[in-house]
Amino acid sequence: MYSEINFDNIDINAAPPAEEPARQYYYMAKCRELVREFELKNARRPTAFTQTFGCQMNARDSEKLSGILRSAGFAEADSEEADFVIYNTCTVRDNANQRVFGRLGVLNGYKKKNPQMKVALCGCMMQEDLVIRKLQKSYSFVDLVFGTHNLYKFAELLYRCYTEKGMLVDIWKDTDKIVEDLPVERKYPFKSGVNIMFGCNNFCSYCIVPYVRGRERSRAPEEILREIRTLAADGVKEVMLLGQNVNSYGKEPKGTEFMTFPELLREVEKVEGIERIRFMTSHPKDLSDELIQVMKESKKICRHLHLPLQSGSTRILERMNRRYTKDSYLALAEKIRREIPDISLTTDIIVGFPGETEEDAEDTIDVIRKVQFDNAFTFVYSRRTGTPAAVMEQVPEDKVRENFDRILACVQETARERVKRFEGQTLPVLVEEINEQDASFVTGRLSNNTVVHFAGDGSLIGRIVDVKLKRCEGFYYIGELMS
């Protein structure tokens, strides 16, 4: 286990070990030597800042990056004016992409003030050839670039970045490797994401994720459970099991005799100390009756299911390669509601997919009305180079806008009604943080993931307390502490 590593016992003058993770521990020890040299020269430790874009999976990866930086001896910086800055990027939509290029200009300014500064980029965006070419052409001040498949090599790349000249670029096309036991620095002491699988094999026609995250691979159940037990022993109460499509857990790589996702959930339920279990994301095409049953019987699995719809039009769903229809989605939602009546359903919707008409948007609105989502993330379709949808005929921007506004208004109206159903009840809330706007308030979540703000102080953070839900304000509640 990683926690047993003593870096002082590693011979950094020997040749690097070939096997992982021993090789990375060796490079962490080598980096510690560089950090000591920096300290002698500057009378302070070098600082590092990790910035995350994108989804929960990227957030979890960033905790690994921070863990490695900490093990290498870097101090945590609270801003991008640091000695080492790493951006863990997302490319699911073009605006995520543009934000990174925008911020890079700012980093260049900091680097001019602090010539010792190093700038690193990793994550999904780096798996695109176009991006790499652009960086090499116009962003030569960037020191290190790597992708999603070799993140476990970060310690080694960090060492090379400090000892070699020029921009170091290391991008792999794919990998079948999962390296366990790297250091992790969690953002929250009481909750944690846990990867159960990597990659995606679904190839929805609009989506770039399968190209930048590679083929699906599941982690061995014993590794997942070992990690969760360690987290529980460390005070974690809530785990979120992470995968692009958790319902296909255990199916890849072929030949592995892994359990199904519902079976895995049953095992996680047994881990003492874990009080809440969440998971992301569930693809509607293969959500099994067994999963609904396990959720229904569970005392720990949260009353929340994120079930991305993308579109309510069967015609568009087919073009999106989603492999379900409007009717089968509605039937599934109805079945889930019948079995678990208090559950919250949330969703993702894409507006403006190639060929989408007003009629198709009406179908989406119809599904929103019928299912009554507690929340829906509504995105304008973004054309991603290399995906099948990129070469289909695109919808004009003004048409997309019109449909987007109508769909968003419908989401807001139905969610407002739906979220309100617990008003007046007293329910358990896991307190997550001091309220951002008012420091005399704290913010937490119900089992169904709805946000609750109530008067309280920092001593409540990480605790599950009873809160009376006094007033619903659209997507969240204002409450009052009862216990």
**Chain positions contacting ligand SF4, by CB under 6 A:** 200, 202-204, 207, 209-210, 244-245, 283
Amino acid at 294: V
In angstroms, the CA 95 to CA 378 distance is 14
**Closest distance to ligand SF4 from the beta carbon of 25 (Å):** 32
CA 333 vs. chain centroid, Å, equals 24
In angstroms, the CA 363 to CA 276 distance is 35
**Closest distance to ligand F3S from the beta carbon of 200 (Å):** 8
Binding region for ligand F3S (CB under 6 A) out of 11-19, 54-62, 346-354, 429-437:
54-62
Strands 191-195 and 238-242: parallel
Short-list 303, 301, 233, CA closest to 267: 301
In angstroms, the CA 356 to CA 407 distance is 13
CA 50 vs. chain centroid, Å, equals 15
Beta carbon nearer to ligand SAH, 182 or 400: 400
Beta carbon nearer to ligand SAH, 10 or 92: 92
Judged by CB under 6 A, the residue of 28, 29, 48, 92 near ligand F3S is 92
Give the interface with ligand SAH as residue ranges (CB under 6 A).
92-93, 206-207, 209, 244-245, 281, 283, 308, 310, 348, 350, 379, 381-382, 384
Q: Does 343 bind ligand F3S (CB under 6 A)?
A: no
Do 66 and 188 touch, CB atoms closer than 8 A?
no
Distances 362 to 205, 237, 411 between C-alpha atoms, Å: 21, 42, 13
Judged by CB under 6 A, the residue of 21, 54, 147, 354 near ligand F3S is 54
In angstroms, the CA 94 to CA 284 distance is 25
In angstroms, the CA 3 to CA 25 distance is 11
Beta carbon nearer to ligand SAH, 46 or 284: 284
Among ligand F3S, ligand SF4, ligand SAH, none, residue 210 binds (CB under 5-8 Å by kind): ligand SF4
Binding region for ligand F3S (CB under 6 A) out of 52-60, 72-80, 400-408, 463-471:
52-60
**Closest distance to ligand SAH from the beta carbon of 179 (Å):** 23
**Closest distance to ligand SAH from the beta carbon of 281 (Å):** 4
Beta carbon nearer to ligand F3S, 195 or 344: 195
Give the angle subtended at the CA of 152 by the CAs of 150 and 158, to the nearest 5°. 90
> Longest C-alpha distance within the chain, in Å?
68
Beta carbon nearer to ligand SAH, 207 or 461: 207
Among ligand SF4, ligand F3S, ligand SAH, none, residue 93 binds (CB under 5-8 Å by kind): ligand SAH
Beta carbon nearer to ligand SF4, 204 or 265: 204
Strands 84-89 and 75-76: unpaired
Short-list 236, 235, 296, 307, CA closest to 266: 296
Binding region for ligand F3S (CB under 6 A) out of 50-58, 256-264, 273-281, 451-459:
50-58
Short-list 136, 153, 256, 142, CA closest to 197: 256
Among ligand SF4, ligand SAH, ligand F3S, none, residue 192 binds (CB under 5-8 Å by kind): none
Beta carbon nearer to ligand SAH, 52 or 310: 310
* Dihedral angle of Cα 8, 12, 17, 19, to the nearest 10 degrees: 40
Among ligand SF4, ligand F3S, ligand SAH, none, residue 145 binds (CB under 5-8 Å by kind): none
Distances 113 to 82, 83, 118 between C-alpha atoms, Å: 11, 11, 12
Beta carbon nearer to ligand SAH, 147 or 308: 308
Among ligand SF4, ligand SAH, ligand F3S, none, residue 58 binds (CB under 5-8 Å by kind): ligand F3S
Binding string, residues 106-125; x marks residues near ligand F3S by CB under 6 A: ------------------x-
**Closest distance to ligand F3S from the beta carbon of 170 (Å):** 18
Beta carbon nearer to ligand SAH, 292 or 350: 350
Strands (E), 183-330: 191-195, 197-198, 217-218, 238-242, 276-280, 304-306
DSSP state of 232: H
Among ligand F3S, ligand SAH, ligand SF4, none, residue 124 binds (CB under 5-8 Å by kind): ligand F3S
Judged by CB under 6 A, the residue of 24, 58, 175, 310 near ligand F3S is 58
Do 246 and 279 touch, CB atoms closer than 8 A?
yes
Under the rule (CB under 6 A), what is the footprint of ligand F3S?
54-55, 57-58, 90-92, 124, 209, 212-213
